[in-house]
Structure 1
Amino acid sequence: MQTISVRTTQNVFIDYPIASLGDRILAYLIDSLIQFAYIALIFYALYKLDLDSVALNVAIITLPFLGYHAVFEILMGGQSPGKRQMKIKVVRMDGTSPTIGNFLMRWLFRLVEIFLLRGAIAIITIAANGRGQRLGDVVAGTTVVKVVPQSASDTVFTIHDENYQPVFAEVMKLTDYDVELLQQALVANRDHGNNRPVDYASEQVKRYLGIESDMPPVKLLYTLIKDYSFYTSQH
């Protein structure tokens, strides 16, 4: 499976799989449903308001529709509602977060690839180049990755013990994304023998949570993830 190394805010590189064509199509369909729902609501609202300005009516309908992906990807860090639902996101090929310019470049080419050519060129390009890039991605230097493990076999742990006793109550300060990064650090250690993400994540999370522990880094991260899973399962 093709992967790309993504640099986190802690300057740790973690390998993420390239998003599949199927995931991207499903994300597009979800976003399209949201867009068409918006248009239907706006048509109804404009009908009730009975505005005289044709230009204003057209702008209210078309501008949010055309700018949907650019606005959401900029505001949501590389995701639209559809992409978030499918757990995929836009990243630069060098692993860093895309700039506003990158998002706008992808958006400009989207107008041609998706709206004018009905997605044919985008599908062919994504399927052909092996790096998950449509033409807009190639020009912008971006691709789309899967941000969570794709199957249960990719996860680091599963809690089967109903009597498990959590160790660190402070773990609830973390978010789902934080815990995902801890898990990816463990995956890097398990699959590639790369200790750096685990060591770095261990120090950072201890400092952030304000905890002191003599546990080895790997054991500490396992424990924190299991604690988080335990507490969140209780809600």
Structure 2
Amino acid sequence: MHVRCLFRLLIIFEIYRKIVGVQSVNIRTTQNVAIDYATAGIGDRIGAFLIDSVITIAYLIAVFWSLARAGIGTEWLFIGAYLPVFFYHLICEVAFNGQSLGKKQMNIKVVRLDGSPATLGGYILRWILRPIDIGLFSGAIAVIIIAVSDKGQRLGDMAAGTTVVRIGGHVNVTSHQLIKNMDNEYQPVFLEAEHLGDEDISIIREALRVNKEQANSRPVIAVTEKVKAHLNVQSDMPPVKFLYTVLKDYNHLTSLS
């Protein structure tokens, strides 16, 4: 009964998302650049939950079957075998920077509302409140709270100051292609790109990712102006081409140093 209600809520919420558009959370980086992240949908989060459930159940079946076959069955041994499942989500999110194995497959992750990685305390709060969010009423509480939250948060997220967002891998591929396609005779357009830091490059890549995956050009435009001011350069290039050129110049110049 509870499962049927949960899926009814899921269907209603997904219809709502289609009508009003995908929810997003506006995150301002330390460089004062605002970037819109698409929050993970209920379907994404349930998909991650199901994948994680399959993994943990498969682990338990394998371990208990092995113990039974070996004729070992002490109570403390069974408790010890269950501990990795009990701490699974906490361990994964801490070890994998906000992702369980299921979240990795669904391309979603936990972040703080300022865009930075969640703290250990934040992960612990989410884990402590998980039984209330997901354990009660077959997860209906989490579905309802996420649906009414403007930042896609469940109770654990609200307590920890986090949310779950969608991520993509296209930027890293593009960066690798830039390095791969460069040759020793390449002449950088902006020599000043060498003065950019790792955080600057991360912001540029993120802005390009948002532009490509969400058709949102505002971060690209804002970052372009910031980079021009920071490097004290002028250019008539379109923002996207400018940022890709800066990335290529940066990769070339730093590879020579």
Report the TM-score when normalising by structure 2.
0.63
Q: Give the aligned residue type for 1:123.
A: V
Q: Give the aligned residue type for 1:47.
A: A
The 2-side partners of 1:7 and 1:77 are apart by 19
Quickly say closer, same or farther: Cα 1:190–1:60, change in 2 above 3 A. closer
Q: SS of 2:47's equivalent? A: helix
Q: Does 1:56 align with 2:77?
A: yes
1:87 counterpart (107, 124, 127): 107
Q: SS of 2:138's equivalent? A: coil
Alignment match, 1:115: 135
Structure with the higher fraction of residues in helix conformation: 2
The 1-side partners of 2:210 and 2:47 are apart by 28
Runs of 5+ unmatched residues, structure 1: 150-154, 160-165, 171-177, 205-213, 227-235
1:219 counterpart (229, 238, 241): 241
Kept in 2: contact 1:202–1:221 (CA 8 A) = no
Q: Does 1:192 align with 2:198?
A: no
The 2-side partners of 1:131 and 1:123 are apart by 13
Q: Give the aligned residue type for 1:130.
A: D
Q: How many positions carry a matched residue from both structures? A: 199
Kept in 2: contact 1:182–1:225 (CA 8 A) = no
Q: Give the aligned residue type for 2:182.
A: F
1:98 counterpart (118, 121, 128): 118
Q: SS of 1:130's equivalent? A: coil
**Cα deviation code 1:167-202 (max 9, x no counterpart):** 5259xxxxxxx6953623756996227544346679
TM-superposed CA distance for 1:116, in Å, is 3.9
1:38 counterpart (59, 71, 75): 59
Alignment match, 2:4: none
TM-superposed CA distance for 1:124, in Å, is 1.0
Quickly say closer, same or farther: Cα 1:185–1:11, change in 2 above 3 A. farther
The 1-side partners of 2:133 and 2:219 are apart by 41
Kept in 2: contact 1:28–1:82 (CA 8 A) = yes
Alignment match, 2:189: none
The 2-side partners of 1:219 and 1:18 are apart by 27
Q: How does 1:167-182 map to 2 (within 5 A)?
A: 167-168=181-182, 181=206
Kept in 2: contact 1:88–1:147 (CA 8 A) = yes
Quickly say closer, same or farther: Cα 1:83–1:202, change in 2 above 3 A. farther
Q: Give the aligned residue type for 1:219.
A: K
TM-superposed CA distance for 1:69, in Å, is 0.7
Report the TM-score when normalising by structure 1.
0.68
Q: SS of 1:118's equivalent? A: helix
Q: SS of 1:143's equivalent? A: strand
The 2-side partners of 1:169 and 1:5 are apart by 38
Q: Does 1:144 align with 2:144?
A: no
Kept in 1: contact 2:207–2:220 (CA 8 A) = no
TM-superposed CA distance for 1:108, in Å, is 0.6
The 2-side partners of 1:9 and 1:197 are apart by 12
TM-superposed CA distance for 1:67, in Å, is 0.9
The 1-side partners of 2:74 and 2:31 are apart by 51
TM-superposed CA distance for 1:14, in Å, is 2.9
Identity fraction in percent: 40
RMSD between aligned residues: 3.9
Kept in 1: contact 2:35–2:219 (CA 8 A) = no
